[in-house]
C-alpha cells in the first residue's frame, strides 16, 4: 500500500541518526572503495527505538585501501553493538569501563599503534567513526546498533534521518517500523532532498497500531540527471507521529516482566504563571546575540496569557528591574515590556548571582503580599552567554546561594547562549532548583530556539505529580515524582514487576491543577498486555527491560550532576554496572573496537562531551574533537567512509493548536512583520500591537465561518524550467528587471489573467483571506517586490513566513528555519510544502489554491508571489487581491488601440490598462507577457 502520511502534527521526538555514506563519487572511483549497500532499519516500540545501520563496502582497487564507517547519532542514544565482518571473520566491539579502556589506550600508544576516540558533538548528535584497511577485492560489512527512548517534546515524536551518500549506491534502503499499542494518532513525512521522482521510492503503510515507512530509491532515481553520476540524496528525511490518547491521558504496557507507563493528560486548563525573565546584557552579548534575544523576548512576551504575571530583569555588572514588582500580562503591560525589550543594549560585565537573587526576592515579595495566585506556577528563566565575572564569581557559591534562596518554592530554567558559557554550572544550577538547562546554539535560528524553549514550559498543566503502584506488584521503578507536567510533554515511568504479582497492575497518579488536587487511576491486565507484544513479527522483543535500564541509567547520570561524596560514588557504581550489563556506551563506558592482526588494534568510542565540560570528561581528547595519535609506521591517507548525520533543526512540529493564539513571528528589530491572533471558530485575524517595531496589519476582517476542504496537487512548472545557479548569487538574467506584478489567473473570465501593481510600499497588506480554504496570505511590498510574505493554513495549523533571507515554517508553536534553495518536501497528506534549489517555495494540496513564493534578485533580493489553481478560491474570498475572486465585471475596452478599460468589483472600480509585465511562473529569466493591469 502506498500512501501519503497523515496531516496532523502533534507528538514526541524520535531522533534517528542521519545517513551519510561519506565516499564521494570521484573519490570512490579514484581509490577503488565502493559502497554497494547501505541500509537503516529502525524498529520503534512504545517510543523506544532500536536502530541498525549496515554498510557494505568493497575495495575494487588492486591495492589495500582504508574504509571508514562514520555515524552521527542522537546524543541521548546509547550505542549497544558494533561489529565488522571481514572475509567471513567478525570483529566485534565490546563495552568496557572507562578505566579499563584507558589502560588499553595507553598500552596501544606505548606500542606505537594508533588509538582514537570519537569526541565530536553537534547540537543534538555525536559522531562515531571507525577505520579499517581493506585488502584488494575484499568486502567488509559494518554494522552499528543503538537505542533511544523517544521523548515527547511540544507534542511530537520525530524520527530524523539525514541522507548523504555522496555517491550512487546500488542498494540503498531505509525501513522504519512503528508499533504503538496505544494507537497511532497521525503519521507524516518530510524531506529536504525529495523530488517528485524520488517520492515514488517512498511508501507508507499504516493501520491502527502499526506503521511501515520504506525509502528505496533506484540508481536512476538517485541521479541528478540521466548522465550525471552524482547523487541527488543530500539532506534530511523526517517521520513524525503521535499516539492516540485516552481520557485518562496515559497507557500502561507490559512485556516479559517489565512495564512502562506513559502519561500525558492534555484536556486540563493551563495553570497561571508568575515568570521572571533574567536577561544577560553584558558586553559578550553584543551584536547578533542581543538582537536575537530581543527578537525572541518580544515574541515570548506577546505569547503570555492574560492570566500570567511577569517581570524583566536585565543585568551586566549590576541588575535592573523593569518594574518594581510583578505585573499582570495585560495588553498595555505587554506593550510597554516589548518596547523596553526592543531597546536592550549590551555592555559591561556579568553578575549572575545578584541577578538571580533579585528575581527570587521579587517572587518572595509578591508571595509575602499574597499576590501569587493560589495554584499558580512560579518560574525564573535565566539567559546568559558567559561565566560570572563580577560580584560573586565562584560557581559553587552561586549555586549554594541560589538554592538556599529558592528553597524548592520556585523553578529555575537556565539557557546557555553559545559555547563561551559554563554550561555544567548552569546545568547544576537548574537541576538543584527544579528546572532544566538548555544550550542555545549560535546560529541564524537562535531566536527560534529561544522561543521554542519557552513554548515547552509555557503551558503547565499539573504540579507535584506522583505515581503510585502496589508494593506487591512492582519491584523497582524509575523516577515516579515530577515537579511539573507541561502541555506537549510526557511523563514516563518504567519498572520491574514482582515475580508472583497480581494479575492486574493498578496505578494511581496524583497531581495538582491550579484549582484542585486531582487523581487519575489506571489498571492493566498483565496477561493481556503481554500478549500485545508477542504478535508483531517485525518488532523486536524483550525491549522493555532495556527501556527500563536505559531510563534508569539516564536518570542516575542526571542525579550525578548535583551529587557529591558517597552519594556520587554510589550513583556512578549503579549506572556503570547497568551500562556494562546491558552493553550501553554511556559517559561512564567506552566501546573498544578490535581489528584484524597487523592493523591499528585499538579504537575506543565514548560519549562526546561539550568543550566546556572540563578536564574530568576530556579523556582521550574529549574537547569536542576526534583525536588520533599517529603510529611510528607510515599511515594510509584518511578517506571518508560511511557517515550518519542528524540535523534536528529541521523539525517543524509544535504543541497542540491553540485557537486563541496564532504564532505570528516577529523578525529582527526594524523588519515589518505580522503578529496576529487567530480565532479558529470565526476565522478572524486579530492584530497585536507591539511598540517600536514596524507597522502591522491594518485591514479589518469580517467574521465568517470556516469550512475546510481537502488540499492540493503540487504544480512544478516553475521548478522544472528554472535554470541552475549558485545558492546566493544572481545570474545576469536576474538583473535589470522592473518590479514584478502579481499575476492572478481569473477563472471564468474572458480576460484569463490579471496583473496587479502594488503601490502600498512598506505597508503590511492583507492579500487573500478565504474562509472556505482556511487560507490567509499577507505581505509587505517594497518598490521592487515583496520583502515579506506570510501564509496561514488553518487545517494544517501551518504558518509560513518568507523573507529574502530565509523561510520560517511554524506548526503550532514549533518553529523551523530554512535557507532559500535548501530543498524541502513535506507531505502532510492534506498539504504539500515544497522548496527547490532554485529559490521556489510552493504550498499546495487537493482542491486547494496553490500559493508560490519565489526569491528574485533584481535590483535587490525580493520576493515574488505566484498563484495557481485560483479557480478553487471561494466567492467569499476577501483581501486586496482576494477581492478579484468575487463577482467582478469588465467594461469593454476603450481608448486608442483598446488599451484601457474598467474593472468593477463589489464596492470599487479600478482603471485597467494593457501593459507588458514580467512573468516568473516559469522560472528565471522571467518572460514578458501582455496583460490587463490594475494598481492597488
Is a pLDDT exceeding 90 seen at residue 73?
no
The predicted-structure confidence for 365-391, as pLDDT tens digits, reads as follows 999 999 999 889 999 999 999 889 999
Residue 665: band (very low, low, confident or very high) from pLDDT cuts 50, 70, 90: very low
| Burial class (CB within 10 angstroms; exposed 0-12, middle 13-18, buried 19+) of 268 | middle
Residue for grid cell 505515581: 467
Tell me the mean pLDDT in the region 791-795: 89
pLDDT for the residue 750: 65
* Cβ within 8 Å of residue 289, ≥6 positions away: 346, 385, 417, 418, 442, 446
Q: Transcribe 68-119 into DSSP letters.
A: EEEEEEETT-EEEEEEEEETTEEEEEEEEEHHHHHHHHHHHHHTT--EEEE-
Per-residue pLDDT at 24 exceeds 50 = no
Tell me how far apart the alpha carbons of residues 108 and 115 are, in angstroms, rounded to a whole number. 7
User: Does residue 343 sit in helix, strand or coil?
Assistant: coil
pLDDT at 19 over 80: no
Span 852-859, mean pLDDT? 79
pLDDT value, residue 857 = 74
Q: Tell me the C-alpha distance between 870 and 850, whole Å.
A: 7
Cell of 719: 521548478
The model's pLDDT over 683-710, given as tens digits with 9 standing for 90+, comes to: 333 332 222 223 222 222 222 223 322 2
* 677 phi, psi to nearest 5 deg: -110, 145
pLDDT of residue 163: 75
Q: What is the mean pLDDT of residues 862-891?
A: 90
The pLDDT, as a whole number, for residue 112 is 60
Q: 718-762 pLDDT, tens per residue?
A: 233 333 333 333 333 333 445 678 888 887 666 778 899 988 777
**Angstrom distances, CA of residue 880 to CA of 742, 784, 891, 931:** 11, 18, 20, 19
- 247 pLDDT tier (thresholds 50, 70, 90): low
- In angstroms, the CA 875 to CA 882 distance is 9
Over 90: is that where the pLDDT of 160 sits? no
Report the DSSP pairing between strands 832-835 and 824-827: antiparallel
Cβ neighbour number for residue 545 with a 10 Å cutoff: 15
pLDDT at 357: 97
Whole-number mean pLDDT of the chain? 78
Q: Residue 122 above 80 pLDDT?
A: no
Q: What interhelical angle do 565-581 and 543-562 show, nearest 10?
A: 160
User: 524 Cβ partners below 8 Å, 6+ apart?
Assistant: 252, 253, 254, 259, 504, 505, 507
Q: Which helix (H) or strand (E) holds 709?
A: none
Distance from C-alpha of 88 to C-alpha of 521, rounded to nearest angstrom: 55
Phi and psi of 825, rounded to 5°? -140, 100
- Residue 929: exposure state from Cβ atoms within 10 A (0-12, 13-18, ≥19): middle
On the CB side of 92, CA atoms within 13 Å amount to 8
Grid cell, residue 227, equals 548522465
Q: What pLDDT digit, counting tens, does each position of 590-645 carry?
A: 888 877 776 766 667 777 665 444 433 333 333 322 223 222 333 333 333 333 33
193 pLDDT more than 60: yes
Angle at 654 between CA 653 and CA 655, to 5 degrees: 150
Burial class of residue 438 (count of CB atoms within 10 Å of its CB; 0-12, 13-18, 19+): buried
Cα maximum dimension of the chain? 98
Amino acid at each position: 500500500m502506498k500512501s501519503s502520511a497523515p496531516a496532523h502534527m502533534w507528538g514526541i521526538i524520535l531522533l534517528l541518526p542521519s545517513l551519510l555514506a561519506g565516499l564521494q563519487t570521484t573519490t570512490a572511483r579514484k581509490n577503488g572503495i565502493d559502497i554497494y549497500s547501505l541500509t537503516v532499519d529502525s524498529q520503534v516500540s512504545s517510543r523506544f527505538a532500536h536502530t541498525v545501520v549496515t554498510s557494505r563496502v568493497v575495495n575494487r582497487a588492486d591495492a589495500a585501501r582504508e574504509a571508514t564507517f562514520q555515524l552521527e547519532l542522537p546524543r541521548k542514544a546509547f550505542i549497544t553493538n558494533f561489529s565488522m565482518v571481514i572475509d567471513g571473520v567478525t570483529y566485534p566491539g565490546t563495552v568496557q569501563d572507562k578505566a579499563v579502556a584507558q589502560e588499553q589506550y595507553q598500552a596501544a600508544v606505548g606500542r606505537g599503534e594508533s588509538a582514537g576516540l570519537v569526541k565530536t558533538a553537534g547540537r543534538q548528535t555525536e559522531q562515531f567513526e571507525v577505520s579499517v584497511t581493506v585488502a584488494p577485492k575484499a568486502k567488509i560489512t559494518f554494522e552499528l546498533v543503538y537505542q533511544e527512548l523517544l521523548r515527547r517534546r511540544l507534542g511530537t515524536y520525530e524520527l530524523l534521518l539525514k541522507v548523504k551518500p555522496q555517491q550512487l549506491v546500488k542498494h540503498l534502503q531505509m525501513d522504519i517500523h512503528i508499533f504503538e499499542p496505544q494507537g497511532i494518532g497521525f503519521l507524516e513525512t518530510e524531506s529536504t532532498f525529495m523530488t517528485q521522482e524520488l517520492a515514488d521510492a517512498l511508501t507508507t503503510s499504516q493501520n491502527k497500531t502499526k506503521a511501515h515507512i520504506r525509502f528505496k530509491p533506484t540508481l536512476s532515481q538517485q541521479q541528478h540527471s540521466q548522465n550525471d553520476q552524482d547523487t541527488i540524496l543530500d539532506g534530511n528525511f523526517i517521520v513524525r507521529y503521535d499516539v492516540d490518547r485516552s481520557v485518562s491521558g496515559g497507557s500502561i504496557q507490559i512485556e516479559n516482566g517489565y512495564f512502562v507507563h506513559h502519561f500525558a493528560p492534555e484536556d486540563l486548563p493551563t495553570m497561571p504563571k508568575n515568570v521572571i525573565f533574567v536577561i544577560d546584557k553584558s558586553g559578550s552579548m553584543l551584536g547578533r546575540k542581543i538582537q536575537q534575544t530581543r527578537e525572541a523576548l518580544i515574541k515570548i512576551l506577546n505569547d503570555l496569557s492574560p492570566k500570567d504575571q511577569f517581570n524583566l530583569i536585565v543585568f551586566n555588572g549590576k541588575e535592573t528591574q523593569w518594574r518594581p514588582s510583578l505585573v499582570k500580562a495585560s495588553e498595555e503591560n505587554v506593550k510597554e515590556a516589548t518596547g523596553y525589550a526592543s531597546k536592550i543594549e549590551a555592555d559591561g560585565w556579568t553578575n549572575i548571582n545578584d541577578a538571580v537573587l533579585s528575581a527570587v526576592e521579587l517572587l518572595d515579595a509578591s508571595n509575602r503580599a499574597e499576590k501569587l495566585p493560589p495554584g499558580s506556577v512560579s518560574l525564573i528563566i535565566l539567559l546568559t552567554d558567559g561565566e560570572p565575572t563580577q560580584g560573586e564569581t565562584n560557581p559553587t557559591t552561586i549555586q549554594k546561594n541560589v538554592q538556599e534562596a529558592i528553597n524548592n518554592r520556585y523553578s529555575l530554567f537556565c539557557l546557555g547562549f553559545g559555547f563561551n558559557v559554563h554550561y555544567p554550572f548552569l546545568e547544576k544550577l537548574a537541576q538543584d532548583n527544579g528546572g532544566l538547562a538548555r544550550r542555545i546554539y549560535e546560529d541564524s535560528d537562535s531566536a527560534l530556539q529561544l522561543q521554542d524553549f519557552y513554548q515547552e514550559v509555557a503551558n503547565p498543566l499539573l504540579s507535584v505529580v506522583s505515581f503510585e503502584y502496589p508494593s506487591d506488584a512492582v519491584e523497582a521503578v524509575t523516577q515516579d515524582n515530577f515537579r511539573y507536567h507541561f502541555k506537549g510533554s510526557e511523563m514516563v515511568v518504567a519498572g520491574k514487576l514482582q515475580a508472583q504479582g497480581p494479575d492486574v497492575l493498578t496505578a494511581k497518579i496524583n497531581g495538582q491543577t491550579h484549582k484542585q488536587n486531582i487523581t487519575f487511576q489506571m489498571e492493566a491486565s498483565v496477561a493481556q498486555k503481554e500478549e500485545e507484544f508477542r504478535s508483531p513479527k517485525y518488532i523486536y522483543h524483550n525491549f522493555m527491560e532495556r527501556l527500563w535500564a536505559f531510563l534508569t541509567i539516564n536518570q542516575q547520570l542526571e542525579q550525578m550532576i548535583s551529587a557529591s561524596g558517597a552519594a556520587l560514588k554510589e550513583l556512578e557504581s549503579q549506572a556503570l554496572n547497568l551500562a556494562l550489563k546491558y552493553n550501553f556506551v554511556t559517559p561512564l563506558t567506552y566501546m573498544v573496537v578490535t581489528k584484524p592482526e597487523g592493523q591499528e588494534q585499538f579504537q575506543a568510542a565514548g560519549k562526546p562531551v561539550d568543550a566546556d565540560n572540563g578536564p574530568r570528561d576530556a579523556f582521550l581528547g574529549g574537547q569536542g574533537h576526534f583525536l588520533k595519535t599517529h603510529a611510528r609506521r607510515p599511515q594510509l591517507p584518511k578517506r571518508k567512509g560511511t557517515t550518519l548525520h542528524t540535523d534536528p533543526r529541521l523539525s517543524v512540529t509544535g504543541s497542540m493548536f491553540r485557537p486563541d493564539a496564532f504564532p505570528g513571528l516577529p523578525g529582527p528589530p526594524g523588519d515589518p512583520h505580522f503578529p496576529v491572533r487567530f480565532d479558529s471558530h470565526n476565522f478572524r485575524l486579530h492584530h497585536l500591537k507591539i511598540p517600536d517595531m514596524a507597522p502591522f496589519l491594518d485591514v479589518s476582517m469580517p467574521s465568517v465561518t470556516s469550512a475546510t476542504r481537502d488540499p492540493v496537487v503540487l504544480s512544478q512548472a516553475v521548478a522544472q524550467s528554472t535554470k541552475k545557479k549558485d545558492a546566493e548569487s544572481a545570474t545576469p538574467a536576474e538583473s535589470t528587471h522592473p518590479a514584478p506584478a502579481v499575476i492572478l489567473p481569473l477563472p471564468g473570465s474572458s480576460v484569463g489573467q490579471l496583473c496587479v501593481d502594488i503601490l502600498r510600499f512598506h505597508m503590511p497588506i492583507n492579500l487573500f483571506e478565504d474562509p472556505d480554504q482556511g487560507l490567509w496570505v499577507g505581505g509587505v511590498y517594497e518598490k521592487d517586490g515583496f520583502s515579506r510574505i506570510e501564509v496561514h493554513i488553518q487545517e494544517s495549523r501551518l504558518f509560513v513566513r518568507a523573507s529574502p533571507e530565509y523561510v520560517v515554517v511554524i506548526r503550532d508553536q514549533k518553529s523551523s528555519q530554512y535557507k532559500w534553495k535548501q530543498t524541502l518536501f513535506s507531505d502532510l497528506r492534506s498539504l504539500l510544502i515544497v522548496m527547490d534549489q532554485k529559490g521556489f517555495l510552493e504550498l499546495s494540496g487537493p482542491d486547494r489554491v496553490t500559493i508560490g513564493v519565489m526569491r528574485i534578485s533584481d535590483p535587490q533580493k525580493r520576493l515574488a508571489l505566484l498563484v495557481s489553481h485560483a479557480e478553487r478560491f471561494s466567492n467569499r474570498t476577501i483581501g486586496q487581491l482576494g477581492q478579484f475572486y468575487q463577482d467582478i465585471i469588465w467594461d469593454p475596452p476603450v481608448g486608442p488601440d483598446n488599451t484601457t478599460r474598467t474593472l468593477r468589483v463589489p464596492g470599487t472600480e479600478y482603471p485597467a490598462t494593457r501593459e507588458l509585465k514580467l512573468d516568473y511562473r516559469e522560472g528565471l529569466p522571467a518572460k514578458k507577457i501582455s496583460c490587463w493591469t490594475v494598481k492597488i
